[in-house]
Amino acid sequence: MGSVQVTLRNPKRVVEVPGPVRVHALLDRLELNRESVLVIRGDTLVPGDVLLEDTDEIEIRPVISGGAT
């Protein structure tokens, strides 16, 4: 069985998660809040019910930003 290549940010790093796995299950496994991130494959958003194959490379992009001003 292969792994999904997952690029994370802040700091930028790559982790491997055994696939196939659904997006929402992947976020749960990584303990990420689905309100705080987007999942992107290539240049395209990937919704939560999609089954990621073990050949997939995705980015999990945080969306929270900003100072207090």
Q: Does 63 bind another protein (CB under 8 A)?
A: yes
Q: What is the DSSP letter of 24?
A: H
Q: Total binding residues for another protein by CB under 8 A? A: 27
Draw the binding track, 13-32, toward another protein (x: CB under 8 A; -: no contact): --------------------
Tell me how far apart the alpha carbons of residues 31 and 61 are, in angstroms, rounded to a whole number. Answer: 14
Within 10 A of 8 (CB to CB), how many other CB atoms are there?
16
Q: Does 64 bind another protein (CB under 8 A)?
A: yes
- Asked if 6 and 14 touch (Cβ cutoff 8 Å), the reply is yes
What residues line the site for another protein (CB under 8 A)? 9-10, 12, 33-38, 40, 43-50, 61-69
